[in-house]
């Protein structure tokens, strides 16, 4: 991991946990993290929208930040069931995940829509974790770099704040599968992402690149030691207090 940026570990709870359990989980995480040795690591929790207020209250006196899992690209309007970026900011969110493969795949979210969401989120003062990643078929066809670079180019709006932008490489085939690319594969993709970002942003900026996709206690230290990996977007393991904190403590 480079010294260019503070490591970021974000927990994506996805569509899991009800209010009472969510409150208990967040408070247990706060207690466990306060017991750890002081570390230069930024922790973010992204619970489902029903828990944003509850988890936000639990995190209030801690150093752990609140994030959301998605937002709409409009500031307000007739968008039944959606949540605007300003609403998230109003609840105390500091981050929002955008372009996750589960949103791209299940809801047909295009790069264009994701770029619009990124613009709206940053306009509302949120930091955006923008996800990119290839399917198994694309990987097997040798198109990983092509797909990731295309998504990266089209999912970031023309007007963007680099300091509020985080990229997360999440190979679709690895999410929830228990499988991960090998270290060389992760390193290669992250280096390609870094090269694309350096070309896009002149002068170069220390924009963080996270890895996501079956991050576990068993593989976190090795993954987080890769030069261009600046943290992790953690799914299932973020619902386990000890596992999530141990992953965060793996940042060197």
Q: How far is CA 227 from CA 108, 127, 165, 167, 235, in A?
A: 33, 23, 19, 15, 22
Measure the CA–CA gap between 246 and 95, rounded to whole angstroms.
Answer: 22
Name the catalytic one among 72, 100, 190, 230. Answer: 100
Give CA separation, 105 vs 49, 108, 110, in Å: 20, 5, 9
| Annotation marks residue 170 as catalytic | yes
Q: Active site includes 100?
A: yes
From 79, 166, 149, 155, select the one nearest 114 (Cα to Cα). 155
Q: Per the structure block, which two tokens stand in for 183?
A: 């270290």
Catalytic site residue from 42, 102, 109, 170: 170
Q: What phi-psi label fits residue 231: left (phi over 0), alpha (psi between -120 and 50 degrees) or beta?
A: left
14, 44, 45, 144 from 67: Cα distances, Å: 12, 6, 6, 28
Q: How far apart are CA 14 and CA 211, in angstroms?
A: 17
Instruction: For residues 172 and 189, give the distance between their C-alpha atoms in angstroms, rounded to a whole number.
Output: 14
Active site residues: 100, 170
């Amino acid at each position: 991991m480079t010294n260019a940026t503070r490591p970021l570990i974000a927990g994506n709870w996805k569509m899991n946990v009800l209010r009472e359990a969510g409150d208990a989980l967040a408070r247990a995480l706060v207690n466990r993290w306060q017991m750890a040795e002081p570390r230069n690591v930024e922790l973010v929790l992204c619970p489902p929208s029903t828990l944003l207020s509850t988890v936000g209250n639990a995190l209030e006196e801690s150093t752990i930040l609140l994030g959301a899992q998605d937002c709409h690209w409009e500031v307000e309007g007739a968008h039944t069931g959606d949540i605007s970026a300003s609403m998230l900011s109003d609840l105390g969110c500091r981050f929002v995940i955008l372009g996750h493969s589960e949103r791209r795949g299940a809801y047909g979210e295009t790069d264009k829509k994701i770029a619009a969401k990124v613009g709206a989120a940053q306009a509302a003062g949120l930091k955006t974790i923008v996800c990119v990643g290839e399917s198994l078929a694309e990987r097997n066809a040798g198109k990983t770099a092509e797909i990731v670079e295309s998504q990266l180019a089209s999912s970031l709006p023309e007007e963007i704040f680099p300091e509020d932008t985080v990229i997360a490489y999440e190979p679709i085939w690895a999410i929830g599968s228990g499988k991960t690319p090998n270290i060389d594969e992760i390193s290669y993709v992250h280096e390609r992402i870094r090269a694309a970002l350096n070309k896009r942003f002149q002068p170069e900026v220390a924009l963080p690149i996270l890895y996501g996709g079956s991050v576990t206690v068993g593989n976190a230290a090795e993954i987080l030691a890769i030069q261009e990996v600046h943290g992790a977007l953690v799914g299932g393991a973020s619902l386990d207090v000890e596992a999530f904190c141990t992953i965060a403590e793996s940042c060197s």
